[in-house]
Structure 1
Amino acid sequence: MMQDAQTLLLRAMRTTGDPMPGLRAAHSEAWASATFAGARHRFELEPASPGHADAFAVRLTRADYRLPGHLVADIVVAARTETTQGIALTIEALTVEDG
């Protein structure tokens, strides 16, 4: 189910209103607490212009994600790195299984 959550979250991130910068790398791993099961996700995005990266980051953290069978418990911009090509973002998220 972890892979499904990653695919669903990436699809949802791509529809936040601002085009998502290109995906450089994606990693997910199983996560569980005493009461929940889910996955931690890390997405590294290709550099984009500062305006584009910042607009995407703002909408990303304000979006209301609806993932079938999963809830987005947390999503943050973990890193904003300036490169010669623009601003690269690292996104971290936690999804939990719903149901």
Structure 2
Amino acid sequence: MSDEASAPRAPRTRRSATERLRQALSGLGEHHGQVLTHSENAWASITFAGTRHRVSILFAGDQAVAAGEQFVARLPEHEFAIPGQLVADASVVEVEHRLVPSPRLVVQCELLLLEDG
């Protein structure tokens, strides 16, 4: 029996819904975006509970800006797969596009996640 076989395994950490959302947004932006800010607030109605997220993402450089433009186009209709959560609304609320001194795109988006289950 080797030492590796008897070594205790590190506990698996569970990712939060917020971490999974950020990972999903990164994938939607083809991993070219950098999260500048992310705020999260509890949200509830009579029948649902969840969180409202406001995320600001920077896409810097020609290739990143192109990915950011695709992100803006795809976000509202994207089908998210976040365990235990339903993305009830995803919208782009502001886009800032600059070419000088170098191409950059900053996207502000808001998402409403509802607890599923």
With the shorter chain as reference, the TM-score category is 0.7 to 0.9
- The structure with the larger Rg is 2
Query: Percent of pairs identical after alignment?
Result: 32
- The within-5 A match list for 1:1-99 is 4-16=16-28, 18-48=30-60, 49=62, 50-83=65-98, 84=100, 85=102, 86-99=104-117
On the 8 A contact 1:61/1:75 being kept in 2, the answer is yes
On the 8 A contact 2:32/2:59 being kept in 1, the answer is no
Find the residue that maps to 2:82 and give its secondary structure.
coil
- TM-score under structure 2 length normalisation: 0.72
Residue segments in structure 1 that go unaligned for 5+ positions in a row? none
- Tell me which stretches of 4 or more aligned residues in structure 1 moved more than 3 Å: 47-50
How large is the RMSD of aligned CA atoms in angstroms? 2.0
Change (3 A) 1:58 1:19: farther
Between Structure 1 and Structure 2, how many residues are aligned? Answer: 97
On the 8 A contact 2:29/2:70 being kept in 1, the answer is no
Distance 1:29 1:97 in 2: 14
- Tell me: higher relative CO, structure 1 or 2? Use CA pairs within 8 A at least 6 residues apart: 1
